[in-house]
Amino acid sequence: MALTRPSSPAPTHSAQDLPDEERPLLVKDSSIPWRTPLNWPQIYIVLLMQLCEPLASQSIYPYINQLISELDITGGDDRKVGYYAGLIESLFFLTQAFTVLSWSRVSDHVGRKPVLLIGMAGLAISMLSFGLSRVFWALVVSRCICGMLNGNIGVMKSAMGELTDSTNRAEGFSLMPVVWSAGVTIGPLIGGGLSKPHTRFPSVFSNPFWEEYPYFLPCAVVSAFTALIVIISAISFKETLHPRRASSDDSSPHEAPVPMRALFERRVLVAVFNYVMLAFLDIGLNTLQPLFFAMPVAIGGLGLSPPTIGYILGTFGALNGSIQALFFARIINRWNPKRVFFVGIAAFIPIYCLFPVMSAVKRSDAPPAALWTLVCVQLAFMVVMDLSYGCIFMFVTAAAPNKHSLGSTNGLAQTTVSIARAIGPALTASMFSFSLEHNILGGYAVYAVLVVASAIGLVLATRLPDKGWKDRSDGS
């Protein structure tokens, strides 16, 4: 929204000019009807940097299982393919968890820009290495390098927090889930559409290289895009962390990054724990939903074909991204972030409850329209759930002790979330198999466990402040 000024000759003030005790997380006072305009050129660059992340992580999914089966590491037993594929992705999150906090703290001292450039360069190199890997250990090393060098997720949120203030933060952070949704949609298209080009486009890719390295092309495309963004960012992106007066005699201790132990205060921990619970419930859903769609009807699934599953998930990605872009800021300005976050966490309960309901409908004589109506209802609840991400990003940003500790705060949050995302898929998939194998609650015990976890998430959400914390990341 453009900055508007009252018609009276009285002097005007932006929200950043307000005293700290009067500066809320979101301005809703009718006496301050204007917002600081967003710095769109810089925000666009941050969003392009963020797009590299899902493109790299999601582009390998269409071919990773086939790639592993071709490496002879499974001994011809295709049942082991999923184990090795899951190991590769878990190792990425684990190595990221070990290093993301360090990168974020480094960004508090040297700035966001150099850390972001290093992270994207590492991403580009690791993707090239992944495409050239023909043994399993090389795949593992490539993904671990990507995880170790990639501290960008938390640093990008810090940069976005510094490019916005309490008057326009909802609008800025609403774009991050949109970009992620776009990457999640485009990434698999790159991976699936460009793998094995020597068989799909023999007239163009006839060189023996493409037969020896059939998955190099999608990796090279993602790497080239990332390298282009590195160049654009190096030239055009301006440092968002303004240097503190470290050498001045009158420098304020409030400008310096706080010690690590100082991050373990109530408001930071409340925001981080809520973020971790959201990420755990979401990664569980991302693990279970494709399994449920693909599993045979006889064991409680829907028995859908891969193209149908892809169509469902692709439609959700496009719909979710559009709604986030068009309505998130308006929803936050109509209701406060805590209320929206609480409703988003509550949406997990019907989402998980719908799995056994859809299974029962599939097994019954109900018309197909009944099943597809339930699928659409579940996807609608998932759109509501996804609103929680923009909200929790705002809470984490506002929880930072000061602007020079924003990177550390986001790094702490991203470290714990990476651990949850490393553990979540294996834990959820194991509960799914265990429920079916032992017929616990008719094979649906995993959904009951996740409904209980969702209820715990609601309890955690009540600990967030109703009107937002006093925002110390704006420069207080």
pLDDT tens-digit readout, 178-195: 888 788 778 877 887 888
Q: What is the DSSP letter of 468?
A: -
Are 292 and 201 members of one domain?
Answer: no
Are 206 and 310 members of one domain?
Answer: no
Calculate mean pLDDT across residues 69-78: 72
How confident is the model at residue 46, as a pLDDT?
94
Is 274 in contact with 337 (CB distance < 8 Å)?
no
Are 321 and 431 members of one domain?
Answer: yes
Are 263 and 189 members of one domain?
Answer: no
How confident is the model at residue 78, as a pLDDT?
60
pLDDT digits (tens, 9 = 90+) for 389-429: 888 888 888 888 877 777 788 788 888 888 887 787 777 87
Helices (H), 295-405: 306-334, 337-346, 348-363, 368-399
How many CB atoms within 10 Å of residue 94? 16
CB-neighbour burial class of residue 103 (10 A; exposed 0-12, middle 13-18, buried 19+): buried
**Cβ neighbours of residue 190 under 8 Å, at least 6 residues apart?**
55, 59, 218, 221, 222
Judge whether 303 lies within some domain.
yes
Judge whether 29 lies within some domain.
no
Calculate mean pLDDT across residues 251-272: 74
Judge whether 461 lies within some domain.
yes
Domain count, the chain: 2
Mean of the per-residue pLDDT values of the chain:
80
How confident is the model at residue 83, as a pLDDT?
64
How confident is the model at residue 38, as a pLDDT?
86
Cα-based angle 75, 81, 87 (whole degrees, multiple of 5): 115
Are 293 and 317 members of one domain?
Answer: yes
Are 381 and 321 members of one domain?
Answer: yes
Judge whether 472 lies within some domain.
no
Last residue of some domain: 241, 268, 303? Answer: 241
Q: Which is more confident, 244 or 463?
A: 463
Are 281 and 419 members of one domain?
Answer: yes
Calculate mean pLDDT across residues 433-452: 85
Last residue of some domain: 241, 268, 302? Answer: 241
How confident is the model at residue 100, as a pLDDT?
84
Are 62 and 147 members of one domain?
Answer: yes
Domain extent, residue 343, equals 257-467
**8: pLDDT strictly greater than 50:** no
Distances (CA, A) of 366 to 53, 295, 361, 373, 442: 42, 19, 6, 12, 20
pLDDT digits (tens, 9 = 90+) for 310-333: 677 777 877 887 888 788 878 888
Judge whether 12 lies within some domain.
no
Last residue of some domain: 181, 210, 241? Answer: 241
Are 74 and 166 members of one domain?
Answer: yes
CATH number at residue 450: 1.20.1250.20
Are 231 and 265 members of one domain?
Answer: no
